[in-house]
Structure 1
């Protein structure tokens, strides 16, 4: 028997907006595929992916081209992805935004994994690994849905770093869908490759690393805290989010021990270690990553002193914090802040 695959009901917002753009009745169409129109009003609801895939096929057929997939991307709004959408918008860079999408992909769907990584010296890749049905081997997401999602990643990238953003290339692991579509070609404005071994957006690594227009460390931290609480509710099988939430709460009083966190979660130390090992991580890695994430948000807030940041992320003295920061970023925290503030001033000047 196949698993039940679903996606966040927020996707119905751009899906129905795109329908209206092509004079397709949203209510009738949703009901045709057994999707309740009221799901649009439930920010934490889930929609059956198979039904949504059938809806995409219907809409593309009505439009007569793949322009519908692109219109869904153009109709995207951050609220579609719950708190993740706003965390993406307030991220320091496009790279950080895409890494957040990969880390919290379970917010969006249980149909795929997403990876965001540097490839070689020049490329940064957002790679969508779509799951397959056990009985047929068919991808859970249809080619139309995959195209709409990759187009959405491109649309989000343009919102983050500028509307002149264009990928190096788009890659699909399926063959072309029907005939060429001018709307698709104009939207991506880059080579589109089919029959590849992945579904991916490939972009310039320097563009991905540059500071985003909407970078806001204070808001970003708030959204990430909301995300972790949300993930603790919707993905109880992934204990990492629960542990990270505990670490964030305890760090200002000093780094909590693994044994303390296990006790707070009602687990034995051995059981907690086993669960983390099953997820391919360990407590030390989670603690270090959480400290780094918090530190990078704090260091970009000029009103916070270096020593204050060190204590907030659980270091007993500034020297230990400085050593950890140098391991993370290759320079002292004061040096990083100076570079950040200088580049920020330059970025603001360029924007105006």
Structure 2
């Protein structure tokens, strides 16, 4: 499962993530202003946590950090000092998820809110689950420090949220370094280098375990905000923007295609034509969004199926039950019994 990547020349990243990187650097003894100067950024650009800056500017920041930090692997050092709070809505959304599986689903859906410097994918095989990251410009000199920082931060953030959290292996694109101690300190598992992808491999059954900071009411509010931010990203494909707007509309009842088209400054006919150009349709995106949200609610186990039907904009629960069976081959009750958190 993956999200469409943005064109490299237009890629942007979250101002809040850039702010978090700068905070980590100052904790490690670096001065903030020279770092800002090196990537031609100003503090005013980073005040709004929902603002965006160019991916190229952040790449320049990573290069400057790589030059200034005296450490065998600066990315791992930075990752261990990145705090999740300044990441704004995306970080809080992941931490308040009911289970690790729910957090990963949200990470896939909203990954562009953090940045467009690569693509996150999840692959399931037998008893393992792999988080794959495919960066833009994999040979760029800033890629190694950037991706290592993100991998280390994810592990350090997830570890206290999940009892029994452990890694099976970690894979890296770059060759094996002489000093493996920084890697062992962060990952504590078998390490593989010169691989095709960056990847963190977990036991698949961890996905069903509850997160310690699960907060369903807060998560619902954050999800609505994340959907609105996703829809507003100017570089998003039309289908991605439609999905974001559908998420907003479903929180208030049956989606209105005409209203959605107006929000995109399109006629309904143009909306349908442009979606067809991207290989999809409004009805398909609506069904996919409903299915994803339905499965999430059923795994959470907190809402009865009839209430889930109302939340997804169905006029009658029976219509939802029939649709869900067509999607999964299971009734909502059977799905909850098989995959529910409790």
Given the two structures, how large is their TM-score scaled by the length of structure 2? 0.81
CA deviations over 1:8-31 (Å, ceiling 9, x no partner): 232344433433443333333433
Alpha-carbon distance in 2 for matches of 1:11, 1:317: 42
Cα deviation, residue 198, structure 1: 0.8
SS in 2 for 1:175: coil
Q: Is 1:193 the equivalent of 2:192?
A: yes
- CA deviations on 1:113-163 (whole Å, 9 max, x unpaired) are 111231x2122111111122xxxx83485211111111122223324324x
Aligned to 2:116: 110
Are residues 1:155 and 2:156 paired?
yes
Mark the CA change 1:35 to 1:256 in structure 2 (over 3 Å): closer, same or farther: closer
1:295-350 deviations in Å (ceiling 9; x for gaps):
35555474x54333323322232222223344556654346667888x55xxxxxx
**Aligned-residue CA RMSD (Å):** 3.2
Per the TM alignment, residue 106 of structure 1 is displaced from its structure 2 partner at its CA by 1.8
Deviation at 1:33, TM superposition (A): 4.5
Corresponding position of 1:96: 102
Structure 1 counterpart SS, 2:9: coil
Unaligned stretches of 5+ in structure 1? 345-352
Q: Distance in 1 between matches of 2:247 and 2:40?
A: 41
Which structure carries more relative contact order (alpha carbon 8 Å, separation 6+)? 2
Q: 1:50 aligns with which of 59, 63, 80?
A: 59
- Tell me: CA distance 1:285–1:125, structure 2 relative to 1, closer, same or farther (3 Å): farther
CA distance in 2, matches of 1:263, 1:310: 26
> Does the C-alpha gap of structure 1 residues 31 and 332 become closer, same or farther in structure 2, counting only changes over 3 Å?
same
Kept in 2: contact 1:254–1:314 (CA 8 A): yes
Q: Structure 2: any 5+ residue segments left out of the alignment?
A: 1-7
Structure 1 residue aligned with 2:77: 71
Other-structure match for 2:42: 36
Classify 1:281/1:131 alpha carbon distance in 2 versus 1 (closer, same or farther; 3 Å): farther
Q: What is the aligned residue count?
A: 331
The superposition leaves residues 72-116 of structure 1 with CA deviations (integer Å, 9 ceiling, x where unpaired) of: 223333333331111111222223222322222221222211112
